[in-house]
Structure 1
Amino acid sequence: MEQQTDDAVLTVGDTLRAEEVAVYRWLARHGRLDPVAMAKETGVEATAVSGAVDRLVRIGLLRRGEEGDDRLWAVDPHLVSAVAGAPVERAIAEQQTRLRLFQDQFAQLAVDYNEGRRSGSADLETIPALTHVRAALDRAAEQCREDMVTVQPGGTRSPEVLQDALLRDSQMLARGVQIRTVYHHTARFNSPSQAYVATASALGGEYRTAHQLVGRMIIFDRELAFMTRRNDRLGAVVVREPSVVHFLYELFEQLWSQAEPFSDAATDGLEAVAKDLDRTILRLLSSGLKDETIARRLGMSLRTTRKHIADMMQALGAESRFQAGVAVAAKGLLNDDGEPDAPPATALA
């Protein structure tokens, strides 16, 4: 009779120890138990053989002979695995059935959705939920054939987001898709962004930075554009109208032509980068923009932006924005084009 206990049923995910594998192989070939010979040929210590045999019997890979018969019989591993895997296979089949029913139901809904888009405006679509935006971007990336261009405002992106982006972008680059991205200059100070750009650049991606960017934008194959929704960073607006997408693509090309190749701030020289940033803030201040607007355009936090502005006003000896404007004009810090000729003497020295 086969001796087996209820607590030793083999399940998918169980693994055999090295000594159990060695004992099974030896018994499968010899059909008898000889701990001394087995230890000599397999390297399994004689004291470990008994425990290995007991477990192999319990899980069904070995079968003992009838009472009085000391022989051990190896059981076909395919039969054992088939029995152990049957519950998992049934569960997978049930899940596949549920998935097909789910997909079929939503496919029918998609028919109504597409008919509604055809009867209305198919050129503009609003996606309110972040998870749906990511799914739409992943689908567009999978279908992209030639190029993807991106404007990514903000100085920092989380490592998790960058890891997802690297997986998606590396797959596109491997297919021969051209990728170009413009970041804020402040991204040069962000280590995860630096690492992402270094890795993706080695795969063929191209990356530049600019001081001012308006909003986030992604364009696939000059046919499909994603933009952030007004006052909603989590949602997106999808644009398919050819003239609008063409305009957005031309806007990107203009940004790209004026942007600088991505390099970390330390490579460029932290002092030089800081001076360049303060010159830009000075010009935006002279235009009368609010702190929030300046922070958004530069991809900086409001707190950091206000710290820069306070330092510049102190260097100018000004206690108000009006006094700062007078000091800028008196010192000739702006040329006729509205660009700074020179920074305030102490703040940008």
Structure 2
Amino acid sequence: MEVGTAGGEGDRPPEGTGDASRLGADEVAVYGWIAAHEGVDVAGAAGALGLTPERVAAASASLTALRLVHEADGRLDVLDPDLVSGVMAAPVILALQRHQSELELIRERFSGLRDTYLRATRARSPKIEQVGQVEEVRAALTRAADECQAEILTCQPGGNRVPEVLEEALRRDTTTLARGVRMRTLYHHTARFNGPSQAYVATLSMLGAEYRTAHELFGRLIVFDQRVAFIPYADDSWGAVVIREPSIVHYLCRIFEQTWTLAQPFSDASVDGMEAVAADLDRTIARLLAAGMKDEAIGRRLGMSLRTVRRHIADMMEDLGAESRFQAGALMAAKGLLSDGDDQALTVPTTTG
């Protein structure tokens, strides 16, 4: 079905209505002068308004074209602008009404397929759907959030989040929380050092959302009502895999719960987050470094920038007096720095880059 556009032949304003964008300061001034001097020729308006005769003539022509001024017996008089605007707006209103009718018709024609789609997807085996385009992923997430009744679980790796994305999430999550839906989110420890993330968490925590952080996370995950789960494509693209198979969703929820139990409540690093996570981050970096993991992999694992990871490692080597990474690993093992709960863990800056 073809849908008309506002620029179609039937949507054009009547002939002679002119261009409303031409109603500038000169037109307003001349209109006011004509209104105050009913039936008087505008020749004397130039001196009174401080305009040149050419500008007065141009403004008069524009007002005439817009039907705000009409000429009778060689003199000009004003017309009611509400009546003029009503005439000019009429075709636009008709076009909007027609488009609204077409929009409702489109929705009506496709609405009957929704139940068919849901029955078909529930009957699929396996119940897995791939969504490749980012717009489709967002639409699917929005629909799942709107239909969610009980709880949303989210694992959001990475330390820094784009402010624009957080603003959009703030509006959506505020509405969801207002419906009584419980929201729990896991972040990397490094999110504590990101200003936009701190503000976002502080705002939604007051509305009932719950946030915790951990030094290592299992990957990106969103689960709605323990019924449908979203995980990312393996190729790190913007696509998503939607999972409705109950056993798989249940398994993913168990992984989330285990990590949630071990994670720490989110707190602002400038207040008490530094002491809470610094030792944990140091031990983890030391353990991954000793295992031979590359700097880039450590950064992805901990949600840190490559520059921050390298600064951590350099500070550790300096504190240990090590001249190589191999020597640093040996010294860390000898001092027991690779064990959990060690009180001698190195304390180095953890500000993200």
TM-score by length of 1: 0.73
Match of 1:248 in 2: 252
Structure 1 unaligned runs (5+)?
1-5, 35-45
Distance in 2 between residues matched to 1:203 and 1:346, nearest whole Å: 34
Q: Structure 1 33/268 Cα, relative in aligned 2: closer, same or farther at 3 Å? A: farther
Q: Structure 1 134/345 Cα, relative in aligned 2: closer, same or farther at 3 Å? A: closer
Match of 1:40 in 2: none
Distance in 2 between residues matched to 1:330 and 1:73, nearest whole Å: 95
The aligned length equals 326
Q: CA deviation at 1:119?
A: 6.1
Match of 1:184 in 2: 188
Distance in 2 between residues matched to 1:345 and 1:196, nearest whole Å: 28
Distance in 1 between residues matched to 2:273 and 2:256, nearest whole Å: 27
Q: Structure 1 167/316 Cα, relative in aligned 2: closer, same or farther at 3 Å? A: same
Q: Structure 1 15/168 Cα, relative in aligned 2: closer, same or farther at 3 Å? A: farther
Distance in 2 between residues matched to 1:143 and 1:345, nearest whole Å: 46
Letter in 2 for 1:77: D
Q: 1:259 aligns with which of 257, 263, 279?
A: 263
Structure 2 unaligned runs (5+)?
1-14, 41-47, 51-55
Checking the alignment, whether the CA contact within 8 Å between 2:64 and 2:70 is kept in structure 1 is yes
Match of 1:60 in 2: 67
TM-score by length of 2: 0.72
Q: Structure 1 179/33 Cα, relative in aligned 2: closer, same or farther at 3 Å? A: farther
SS in 2 for 1:156: coil
Checking the alignment, whether the CA contact within 8 Å between 1:222 and 1:245 is kept in structure 2 is yes
Q: Structure 1 332/177 Cα, relative in aligned 2: closer, same or farther at 3 Å? A: closer
Q: CA deviation at 1:269?
A: 6.1
- The superposition leaves residues 44-96 of structure 1 with CA deviations (integer Å, 9 ceiling, x where unpaired) of xx869xx899976653356566x38x795754835x33421234235435655
Distance in 2 between residues matched to 1:228 and 1:272, nearest whole Å: 30
| Mapped pair 1:342 → 2:351 | no
Match of 2:301 in 1: 297
Letter in 1 for 2:285: I
CA RMSD of aligned residues (A): 4.3
| Mapped pair 1:77 → 2:82 | yes
Q: 2:136 aligns with which of 104, 127, 132?
A: 132
Q: Structure 1 14/280 Cα, relative in aligned 2: closer, same or farther at 3 Å? A: farther
Distance in 1 between residues matched to 2:277 and 2:121, nearest whole Å: 48
Match of 1:214 in 2: 218
Match of 1:280 in 2: 284
Q: Percent identity?
A: 50
Q: CA deviation at 1:106?
A: 6.9
Matches within 5 A, 1:28-67: 59-61=66-68, 67=73
Distance in 2 between residues matched to 1:73 and 1:334, nearest whole Å: 87
SS in 2 for 1:209: strand
Q: Structure 1 101/150 Cα, relative in aligned 2: closer, same or farther at 3 Å? A: same
Distance in 2 between residues matched to 1:210 and 1:225, nearest whole Å: 21
Distance in 1 between residues matched to 2:200 and 2:107, nearest whole Å: 35
Q: Structure 1 47/293 Cα, relative in aligned 2: closer, same or farther at 3 Å? A: closer
Letter in 1 for 2:286: L
Match of 1:172 in 2: 176
Match of 1:39 in 2: none
Letter in 2 for 1:333: L
- The superposition leaves residues 225-251 of structure 1 with CA deviations (integer Å, 9 ceiling, x where unpaired) of 111122324111111122222222232
